[in-house]
Structure 1
Amino acid sequence: MRRRVLLLTTALAAIAVAACSIAIYVVTEDALRAQIAERVERNAAKLAVSSSTQMSPNALGFANDGTGPMRVAMITAAGEFIAQDGSTEPFLTESGQMSTSLQPLVRGETGQVSTEADGFLMCGITAVGGDIVLVAEPESTMAPTMHTLVVWLSALGGLLILLAAAVGAAAAGIGLRPVERLTRATRRVASMGDLTPITVTGKDELAQLAVGFNAMLRALDSSRARQSQLVVDAGAELQAPLTALRTNIELLIAVQAEGGPGLDRATEAALRTDVLDQLDELTGRIHRLVEDAREASPQAMSS
Structure 2
Amino acid sequence: MADVARLAGVSSQTVSRVSTGHPGVVESTRRVVLDAMRELGYRPNSAARALKLGEFRTIGVILFTLATTGNSRTVEAIATQAALEGYAITLIPVAAPTQDGVLGAFTRLGELAVDGVIVIMEVHLLDATDLTLPPGMPVVVVDSDAGDRYPVVDTDQADGARQAVRHLLELGHRTVHHVGGPAESFSAERRAQAWRAVLEEAGRPVPPVERGDWSATSGYRAGLTLAADPACTAVFVANDQMALGVLRALHEHGRRVPEQVSVAGFDDIPDAASYLPPLTTVHQDFAEVGRRCVHGLLGQIRGERITPGTELVPTVLVHRSSTAAPPPAARRAP
Q: Do Structure 1 and Structure 2 share a fold, with TM-score over 0.5?
A: no
| TM-score normalised according to structure 1 size | 0.22
**Structure that is richer in strand per residue:** 2
**Structure that is richer in helix per residue:** 1
Compare CA radii of gyration and give the structure with the larger one. 1
